[in-house]
Amino acid sequence: MNTVNIIGLGYVGLPIALEAADSGYMVRGFDIDKHRIKMISDGKSYIEGVTDSDVQRSITTGRFTFFSDAAELGASDVYVVCVPTPLDVNKKPDLKYLINAVDMISKVLLPGELVIIESTVAPGTVRNTIIPHITNVSGIPKDEIKISYSPERIDPGNIAWKLSNTPKLVSGIDKLSLNLALEFYSKFVQSIFECSSIEVAEMAKLLENTFRFVNISLINELSMFCRKLDIDILEIIQAASTKPYGFMPFYPSVGVGGHCIPVDPIYLAQSANSVGTPIRIIDLADKVNQEMPEYFVARAEERLNGLTGKKIIVIGVAYKPNVSDVRESSVKDLLTKLKSKGAIVRWHDELVKEWNGEKSVPLSDGYDLAILATPHNYLDLKSLGNIPILNTKS
């Protein structure tokens, strides 16, 4: 096992490509985004947690090459699929990127070569959807396909937990597939947990983020309740966190964002609905979090006695602090709803810089209200002067 093709060089694929190359594999990375390929070729990183020197080191060794033309995809011992599995416009699971990637691999796949799926999917997807696609396109009999499911666990901006020291879930369609995947990951991941089936690994990934989704929703509702009672929700969380067992802190927000938390629970809910066992708490949690932007618009309206013509600056548009990632950011709805009320809205986020055709503006005191949506560490709010601040985190 010497050669690896990584399909998708985003927040998941690029770290895997670099770690695999550093551990001795010959890695070829594919991404349809030509801008990403250009940045890599220039020795530049475009994601948090990966430095320019990380990219340059792997290129210099000659063990990491990259391309954006699917026709250049060649044979490999291992194929790792790291493409998005988002929701479509109707909030339904969208597997088109995954299916396209699998079909691309299947055109060059040979018996005995291992396919690893890292993209988030509902339980049963690999067995009932991915394997039939591989069989149909490649002509390889079902029982000769070697496939593993190992869900990504990437937390952008987290300097404590990276690919190498975050425990990895690994599963296989059969014992040989599992062993091949274990051999691959053990070169650069310190701790690996073997799942008894692919479905266990698929479900575990959904549980991880549904747990967070539901608890964020709970805290958001509690924060509204505590405001009515004039109790500090942050002090309450701090007090509860002194319990050394059975509690994990979550914090209020303008909603959930990112590539996992707003998406994965919907995959689970759709799967549960399809077999007639709906998980109702997911639907309720989704409703609560979808309503949070409207809640803060109402608070802004109350604070200013109406929003028509009022100048508002929203601070931080990334989905969480200290990253530039705006995927599924709930701040988008906040901006839209503020504008629909007649407010004159600008935003500041020097990590994001440009978004949806708009640019970050400097912080200043020339506004009627500042809404702190994403508190990056670099922020210095002194330049706001004495204008009121609505903090969505408290």
Positions marked active-site? 260
Helix (H) or strand (E) holding 304: helix 280-304
Instruction: Write b or e for each residue in 56-95: b if 16 or more Cβ atoms lie within 10 A of its Cβ, otherwise e.
Output: bbbbeeebbbbbbebeebeebbbbbbbbbbbeeeeeebbb
Q: Are 144 and 114 in contact (CB under 8 A)?
A: no
d(CA 83, CA 130): 14
Instruction: Please report how the helices 13-22 and 52-60 are oriented relative to each other, as an axis angle in degrees rounded to 10.
Output: 50
Torsion of Cα atoms, 50 then 55 then 58 then 60, to 10°: -150
Could you tell me which residues come within 8 angstroms of residue 17 by beta carbon, excluding any fewer than 6 positions away?
Answer: 4, 6, 9, 27, 29, 58, 64, 66
How far is CA 309 from each of CA 303, 345, 363, rounded to the nearest angstrom?
A: 14, 9, 19
Q: What span, in angstroms and rounded, lies between the C-alpha atoms of 66 and 299? A: 49
Cα–Cα distance between 152 and 8 in angstroms, integer? 13
- Indicate the DSSP class of residue 138: H
Look at residue 333 and give its three-state secondary structure: helix
Rounded to whole angstroms, the Cα distance separating 63 from 59 reads 6
Q: What are the distances in angstroms from CA 26 to CA 10, 96, 107, 182, 295?
A: 19, 28, 21, 17, 51
Instruction: State the Rg of the chain over Cα.
Output: 23
